[in-house]
Amino acid sequence: MHTDKAVRKQSGGREDGMLFDNSSELQQIVEAVCEEMSPNSQLAKKMSIYMCHQYSGCSLQEIGEYFGVGESAVAEDIKRFAMDLYKDQGLAEKVAGLSAQIAV
């Protein structure tokens, strides 16, 4: 099993995930993504941000704090990843499969 340490390190987040109350939900999503994707990839980070937005109930600010980026960067990553999903059926299928696994 891959860990989310590489994604979190890459994004500037803390390994203990204790940034705010919803960090456990975000951590669960990031771990699920890292099990499917190479945890060192930019795609894993973008997918994690997108899925955290879709399934955690966290604000853009909370997601940004977790990944070490600003709210506008989170919004742009979500928008761009949504476009990638529209263009790439294989990626969309991966996200759909992960969505079914996440029980936040």
d(CA 31, CA 3): 6
HEC per residue, 22-62: CHHHHHHHHHHHHHHCCCCCHHHHHHHHHHHHHHCCCCHHH
**Who wins on pLDDT, 42 or 14?**
42
CB 64 within 8 A of CB 74: yes
Specify the residue for token string 């696994």: 101
> For the residues 47-59, what does the mean pLDDT come to?
93
Radius of gyration of the chain (CA): 12
> For the residues 45-52, what does the mean pLDDT come to?
95
Q: What homologous superfamily is domain 5-101 in, according to CATH?
A: DnaA protein, C-terminal DNA-binding domain (1.10.1750.10)
Q: How confident is the model at residue 36 (pLDDT cuts 50, 70, 90)?
A: confident
